[in-house]
Amino acid sequence: MRIVLMGAPGSGKGTQAQRLIERFGIPQISTGDLLREAAARGTPYGLRARAAMDSGALVADEIVLGIIRERLGQADAARGFILDGFPRNLPQAEALASMLDTIGKPLDVVVLFEVDYAEIVRRISGRRTCPRCGRVFNVHTHPPGTPPHCDQCDDRPKLVQRRDDEEVTVKRRLQVYEEQTRPLAEHYAAQGLLRVIQADAPVDVVTARLIEVLEPLERAQ
């Protein structure tokens, strides 16, 4: 299965991708994770990516495409993959299609997660991250205590809010999504690849809706 999970930041794509890993045995490829890893390593591409992410802007296509191309070439992606957060605009979508056509492995499905934007702002701005282990908490759904500390690490480091999770940045990211990424729904619908699920629901309910969409495609493989 070659799957794209599409939706606004904070719509739950990453959580659902983790569940699909277990079901299909294929890797999740998150551009956000790949870019943050590159930024943490201080690579030239990573530093450029960090500047864009901190301001809520999209990272330049040349950076994202280079990182994705390398990741899709790894052995664990040969049987399929779950793309989370990519493509984010039409040029990226066309570049991805070209890459996959070259190896004879086109996309099977694009799933759009629909979530109210006000709920997204609440979700993302409530995130807190452990600087040690990377575990993510949410002050609305998983109160970490006062003062907030990671309950998974022995030294209980204080949780932090990433700059790209701040409310002002989240609203800017949603504006960018609406202008540049949301139009991809029509692009993929025209190709017969788009499926839409309502993601304003508990995690297990969203998973059930996602599996209902993917099971017929899995049987057809």
Residue type (1 letter), 70: E
Structural contact between residues 87 and 51, judged by C-beta atoms closer than 8 angstroms: no
The DSSP bridge partners found for residue 109 are: 3
Classify the phi-psi angles of 156: left when phi > 0, otherwise alpha if psi is within -120 to 50, otherwise beta: left
Annotated active-site residue 158? The verdict is no
Annotated active-site residue 156? The verdict is no
- Residues 214 and 151: their CA atoms lie apart, in Å, by 36
Q: Which of 36, 71, 88, 128 is catalytic?
A: 88
Is the bond preceding residue 106 a cis peptide, omega within 30 degrees? no
Annotated active-site residue 2? The verdict is no
Phi, psi of 195 (to 5 degrees): -130, 145
Annotated active-site residue 127? The verdict is yes
Q: Which of 36, 50, 173, 209 is catalytic?
A: 173
Q: Which of 123, 127, 128, 195 is catalytic?
A: 127
Annotated active-site residue 219? The verdict is no
DSSP classification of residue 89: S
Q: Which of 48, 105, 135, 162 is catalytic?
A: 162
CA nearest to 137, candidates 46, 146, 50? 146
Q: Pairing mode, if any, of strands 81-84 and 127-129?
A: unpaired
Which residues carry out catalysis?
Answer: 13, 88, 127, 162, 173
